[in-house]
Amino acid sequence: MSQAVAASDVPSLEGRLIADKYRVLRLLGSGGMGTVWEGTHETLGTRVAIKFIKPQFAANREARARFAIEARAAAKLQTNHAVHVYDYGLTPEGLPYIVMEFLEGESLSERIIDQGTLEPAEVAQIIVQAARALSKAHAAGVVHRDLKPDNIFLARTDEPVEGLPHVVKLVDFGIAKILEEPAAPGEAPPAMGGPTREGTVIGTPNFMAPEQLAVGGAPGPLTDLWSLGVCAFAAMTGRLAFEGDMLGDIVLKVCAAPLPVPSKVNPNVPQGFDAWFARACARDPARRFQTAEELARSLADVCGLGRLRIATLDEDQVQYVLRPRQDAPPMSSIPPPASMSPRTALLAGLVLGIAMMVGVIGFLAWRERAASPQPGAPSSSVAP
């Protein structure tokens, strides 16, 4: 979390006891409609982060809906790469709150601002971990739809994660879309999640897919993949892919202008990254990577991490990496072994077995023949 900040429009909540078990300690950050505080579980002593709606927005239906969606969306994701939600409720004054895991570290946005460009291998590892969370989210029917470097958090950890001193966490599911789930027998179907009104743009335009900007919101898994591609561009080049002072400028660049070429912004991007970005952010959704796993695996290959299998579902902590030797031929140039039918394999086994038996019998016969005296051969015995 960021350092404690002062906000004139935020009443102090320090010392408050929430839900009879969470003690509010200090203010960590303040956003447009909410604040985040450090807290602790009174009994367990566990550090937590507590997010509140600002009092002036507590009666706003859309703000309350976003809070409920954030809690529900994050709670659906059982992954180490999304912020964990522990509790959700209302204070006695009717102020909604969310209790989440406490994270220390920095956002990808802060890292880019401080460092400029990141090393390709680190960019690939960050995107791979973010893709795991997206794979889980999409499988659970959740679309983040505000994926940007601010919402990719690099949380410090005591143990390195795949060589990095942090673990990637997706945060802020406040405008997530929870796709419609089938209703239980006898129940009315649940409403589509997401406080979207027709004709509105929800999200951060610099990182939104063209179909979201042009149609006024059509979120889906492929729009998240577009956003993840733009995040990779920013980390690799230190610049926004689609910059503009006015919303109209950004929309024009996202929807109509030629796509930026990363190597023209940073000549040191790895070979193949230009083509990867062009596919990740293809304006035709059908021409993009179709899954977060496919997108991440391709970027890992471009950045020299070798071939990966992105763990999903219950394999969240597993990643398999094959690093070929520098002098080894490319894996794609190695022909696969010819396949053999079961009948052919059986015949081959019989032939091999017979050949071995013949060899053994021949060896025994030769040894017996060599041990017996041959006719006409001089005797080795000595006459008395």
Q: Residues 85, 29, 68, 96: is their CA dihedral positive or negative? A: positive
In a 10 Å sphere around its CB, with 0-12 CB exposed, 13-18 middle and 19+ buried, how is residue 279 labelled?
Answer: middle
DSSP string, 130-147: HHHHHHHHHHTTEE----
**3-state SS track over 104-129:** CEEEHHHHHHHHCCCCHHHHHHHHHH
| 327-335, long-range: CB < 8 A, 24+ apart | 331/307
The helix (H) or strand (E) run that includes residue 164 is: strand 164-170
DSSP string, 278-297: HHHT-SSGGGS-SSHHHHHH
**Could you give the CA distance from residue 379 to residue 208 in angstroms, rounded to a whole number?**
101
Catalytic residue positions, numbered: 146
Count of CB atoms within 10 A of residue 72's CB?
16
With a CB cutoff of 8 Å and minimum separation 6, the contacts of 137 are: 73, 76, 77, 82, 143, 144, 170, 176, 224
**Could you give the CA distance from residue 207 to residue 234 in angstroms, rounded to a whole number?**
10
- Rounded to whole angstroms, what are the CA distances from 240 to 172, 224, 254? 20, 17, 11
Which among 51, 13, 57 has a CA at the least distance from the CA of 35?
51
Q: What is the amino acid identity at position 356?
A: M
The 3-state DSSP class for residue 174 equals coil
